[in-house]
Amino acid sequence: MSQSPENHREDVAGRANVEDTPELLAYYDELEAKNAGALWTVANKIEPWEPQSQSVPVVWAYEDLRADVLRSLKLVTPEKAGRRVVYLSNPGRRDVTAAVGWIYAGLQVMNPGEQATAHRHSASAIRFIMEGTGAYTVVDGHKMTLGANDFVLTPNGTWHEHAVEASGSTCIWQDGLDIPFVNAMEANFFEVHPDLSEPVAYPVDDMTKTWGNAGLTPTNGDWNKGYSPMFKYEWEPTYEALSKYAEATDGSPFDGIMMEYVNPTTNGPVMKTMGASMQLLRPNEHTKAHRHTGSYLYHVAKGSGHSIINGKRFDWKERDIFCVPSWAWHEHVNGSSSDDACLFCLNDLPVMRALGLYREQAFGDNNGNQPIV
Ligand code: GTQ
């Protein structure tokens, strides 16, 4: 007779702790044959005491990947590939295409004059520009010019296409999507634009010009979609906002000077499933360790340093991407004594918060098995 395949016993009151016996093993086999099972053989596994991320912390060093990304220019065309992207995979999550948790990420590359076909999908996407000039994205007819460290939204259901002007240079940007999440929800639709491209229907950069003015909003502004109308957040005003805020605050001991990209009509996250922030670490800053639920994909927008994630050191520098899985302890260190470091972070906090799943805990808080609510 076989061993029960998954008998996760724990000698703790309230937890499953049933010994295998020949009779029980036969019983498990019978249940399995009927597409059923005994909860106590899996209960301790499927209800862990605290979140058990299968993702592991990873740094994707740009200097390691850049040549491979550029190599794809010669290997495939955007026409054949749809999108020419090298995706980031997490060694703990080979079962899904995810960089961390339920977040997908990739590095997309385009030559001047190239264009990818317009499409839309249920997954929401962001783009974070890494290098090159002349890149643009068209979202529902709104054309956005893109420069380094600009952050662009292509929300769930919007037509979008990416291109680089013929007068530009080879461009690389990071894509971030909630594809694994939407697939886990079994809710992903994909559609290619019937004309393969969508005409630009508005003045260039109109959404940022309309909605991206600090403290000012259009008097007759009308927007009630579930995502931010400010499709593009530019680097310069972002860095300026962080620098100004740094003059007015000591910042958070856990996060330094951190600001969230928001939907200007709600002050809430930019999209329903994914949020993003930019964090400034002052020279020599070393944040205190904490952990929280949710998946976090960092992109080093400026500077260099390291993070300690679940007790292990991960060095990073400008353009590297790294992840902090759910409930992993983490602290960040700016390695420079003279320059700021800035970390862009894409996360699934809107989902965690909307579903009542967000928890956080400071290192050293002794809450037993009860994380801070
Ligand atoms: O441009 O919408 O890297 O749909 C992967 C899937 C980019 C995109 C990716 C996508 C996109």
pLDDT at 370 exceeding the cut of 90: no
Q: Residues 305, 189: one domain?
A: no
pLDDT at 1 exceeding the cut of 90: no
Chain centroid, CA 234 distance in Å: 18
Q: Residues 75, 161: one domain?
A: yes
Atom of ligand 1 nearest to the CA of 154: 2
pLDDT at 369 exceeding the cut of 50: no
Q: Residues 82, 100: one domain?
A: yes
Q: What is the CATH number of the domain that holds 174?
A: 2.60.120.10
Task: Output the CA 109–ligand 1 centroid distance in Å.
Answer: 12
Q: Is 70 left (phi over 0), alpha (psi -120 to 50) or beta?
A: alpha
Q: Which of 62-76, 108-122, 356-370 bottoms out in mean pLDDT, i.e. has the lowest? A: 356-370
pLDDT at 206 exceeding the cut of 60: yes
Task: Output the CA 41–ligand 1 centroid distance in Å.
Answer: 40
In the chain, the number of structural domains is: 3
Task: Work out the average pLDDT over 244-271.
Answer: 97
Q: Residues 274, 343: one domain?
A: yes
* Residue 103 covered by a domain: yes
Atom of ligand 1 nearest to the CA of 121: 4
Q: Residues 80, 161: one domain?
A: yes
* Residue 238 covered by a domain: yes
Answer whether 98 contacts ligand 1 (Cβ < 6 A).
Answer: no
Ligand 1, residues 175, 178, 189, 321: which to mutate, most atoms within 8 A of Cβ? 175
Tokens (6 digits) for 270 = 């930019």
Domain with 357 in it: 233-362
Minimal-distance CA residue to ligand 1 atom 7: 175
3-state secondary structure of 291: strand
Q: How far is CA 353 from CA 272, 307, 359, in A?
A: 10, 25, 9
Among 219, 256, 264, 266, smallest CA distance to 237 is for: 264
Tokens (6 digits) for 250 = 């000591």
Q: What distance, in Å, lies between the first and last C-alpha atoms of the chain? A: 46
pLDDT band at 5 (very low <50, low <70, confident <90, very high): low
Q: How far is CA 200 from CA 107, 118, 169, 203, 310, in A?
A: 25, 12, 22, 8, 47
Q: Dihedral of CA 97/101/103/109: which sign?
A: negative
* Residue 9 covered by a domain: yes
Answer whether 106 contacts ligand 1 (Cβ < 6 A).
Answer: yes
pLDDT in tens, 45-88: 999 999 999 999 999 999 999 999 999 999 999 889 989 999 99
Q: Beta partners for 190? A: 121
- How long a stretch of residues is the chain? 373
* Residue 227 covered by a domain: no
Chain centroid, CA 248 distance in Å: 29
Ligand 1, residues 60, 85, 164, 231: which to mutate, most atoms within 8 A of Cβ? 85
Q: Residues 320, 356: one domain?
A: yes
Task: Work out the average pLDDT over 304-308.
Answer: 98
Q: Residues 78, 196: one domain?
A: yes
Answer whether 175 contacts ligand 1 (Cβ < 6 A).
Answer: yes
Give the number of other CB atoms < 10 A from CB of residue 35: 6
pLDDT at 344 exceeding the cut of 80: yes
Task: Output the CA 83–ligand 1 centroid distance in Å.
Answer: 7
Q: Residues 188, 323: one domain?
A: no
CB 221 within 8 A of CB 243: no
Q: Residues 45, 132: one domain?
A: no
Q: Residues 250, 305: one domain?
A: yes
* Residue 224 covered by a domain: no
Going by C-beta distance under 8 Å and a sequence separation of 6 or more, which residues neighbour residue 74?
A: none
Q: Which residues of 256-270 are buried (b: 16+ CB within 10 A; e: fewer)?
A: bbbebbbbbbeebbb
Q: Is 364 left (phi over 0), alpha (psi -120 to 50) or beta?
A: left
Per-residue confidence (pLDDT) for residue 220, from 0 to 100 = 85
Give the number of other CB atoms < 10 A from CB of residue 213: 13
Amino acid at 1: M
pLDDT band at 3 (very low <50, low <70, confident <90, very high): low
Q: Which of 6-15, 72-81, 180-189, 204-213 bottoms out in mean pLDDT, i.e. has the lowest? A: 6-15
CB 343 within 8 A of CB 299: yes
Q: Residues 239, 199: one domain?
A: no
Answer whether 177 contacts ligand 1 (Cβ < 6 A).
Answer: yes
Task: Output the CA 97–ligand 1 centroid distance in Å.
Answer: 12
* Residue 265 covered by a domain: yes
Tokens (6 digits) for 321 = 């991407």
Answer whether 69 contacts ligand 1 (Cβ < 6 A).
Answer: no
Task: Output the CA 119–ligand 1 centroid distance in Å.
Answer: 9
Minimal-distance CA residue to ligand 1 atom 2: 125
Answer whether 178 contacts ligand 1 (Cβ < 6 A).
Answer: no
Answer whether 103 contacts ligand 1 (Cβ < 6 A).
Answer: no
* Residue 228 covered by a domain: no
3-state secondary structure of 23: helix
Residue 147: burial class (beta carbons within 10 Å; 0-12, 13-18, 19+): middle
Answer whether 121 contacts ligand 1 (Cβ < 6 A).
Answer: yes
pLDDT at 305 exceeding the cut of 70: yes
- What does R_g of the chain's alpha carbons equal in angstroms? 23
Q: Dihedral of CA 284/341/253/237: which sign?
A: positive
Per-residue confidence (pLDDT) for residue 79, from 0 to 100 = 86
Answer whether 161 contacts ligand 1 (Cβ < 6 A).
Answer: no
Task: Output the CA 175–ligand 1 centroid distance in Å.
Answer: 7
pLDDT in tens, 137-179: 999 999 999 999 999 999 999 999 999 999 999 999 999 999 9
Task: Output the CA 82–ligand 1 centroid distance in Å.
Answer: 9
- List the alpha helices (DSSP H) in 39-130: 43-46, 62-75, 78-81
CB 362 within 8 A of CB 290: yes
DSSP letter for 314, please: E
Task: Output the CA 156–ligand 1 centroid distance in Å.
Answer: 12
* Residue 356 covered by a domain: yes
Task: Output the CA 369–ligand 1 centroid distance in Å.
Answer: 39
Per-residue confidence (pLDDT) for residue 373, from 0 to 100 = 41
Task: Output the CA 159–ligand 1 centroid distance in Å.
Answer: 12
Q: Residues 207, 259: one domain?
A: no
